[in-house]
């Protein structure tokens, strides 16, 4: 059992880890398909950052509660760049690309309790997934991931044209 402050001082040669209730836990980063899709989504959002007045970050430490630090695949933060080293306020959008080794239910619950208004969960094999917003979970059947206020529309198939 360690504290959040102790966790934030750690570094790992083989990739970062998350912090859950005093313990350091693995963060599965997935395979090449997973990494390619995560990069494509991040580039899509990064290219929209100026128009949205936002910053886009991959794998940024995000303290979702006093005892949990998550590493969202991608976080989009509206407004000014946060002053600290970690995100301690909910980003506008979190994107998670599913990897076969990972379970996302607990992580999604953490983001929702933290107050993240939009969460996209993408299955890299099919491009289908879910959008979480305002207590609802909506299946993405047309391949288009959306937000409102500000509106963002990402057509999954067009990421690879």
How is the chain split into domains, by residue range? 29-160
Higher-pLDDT residue of 142 and 27 is 142
Confidence bin at 27 (pLDDT 50/70/90): confident
Tell which CATH classification among 2.40.110.10, 3.90.1570.10, 3.40.50.300, 2.60.40.1180 matches the domain 29-160: 3.90.1570.10
Asked whether the beta carbons of 153 and 144 are under 8 A apart, the reply is: yes
Average pLDDT value for the chain: 91
Confidence bin at 127 (pLDDT 50/70/90): confident
pTM of the model as a whole: 0.92
* Distance, CA of 114 to chain centre: 13
Calculate Rg over the CA atoms of the chain.
Answer: 15
The secondary structure element, H or E, covering residue 146 is strand 144-147
């Amino acid at each position: 059992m360690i504290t959040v402050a102790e966790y934030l001082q750690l570094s790992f040669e083989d990739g970062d880890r998350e912090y859950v209730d005093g313990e350091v836990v693995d963060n599965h980063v997935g395979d090449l398909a997973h990494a390619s899709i995560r990069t494509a989504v991040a580039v899509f959002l990064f290219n929209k950052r100026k128009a949205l007045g936002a910053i886009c970050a991959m794998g940024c430490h995000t303290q979702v509660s006093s005892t949990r630090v998550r590493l969202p695949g991608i976080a989009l933060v509206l407004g000014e760049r946060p002053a600290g080293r970690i995100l301690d306020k909910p980003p506008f959008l979190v994107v998670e690309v599913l990897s076969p080794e990972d379970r996302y239910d607990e992580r999604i619950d953490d983001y929702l309790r933290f107050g993240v208004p939009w969460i996209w969960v993408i299955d890299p094999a099919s491009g289908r997934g879910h959008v979480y917003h305002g207590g609802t979970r909506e299946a993405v059947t047309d391949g288009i991931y959306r937000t409102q206020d500000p509106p963002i529309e990402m057509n999954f198939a067009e990421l690879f044209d």
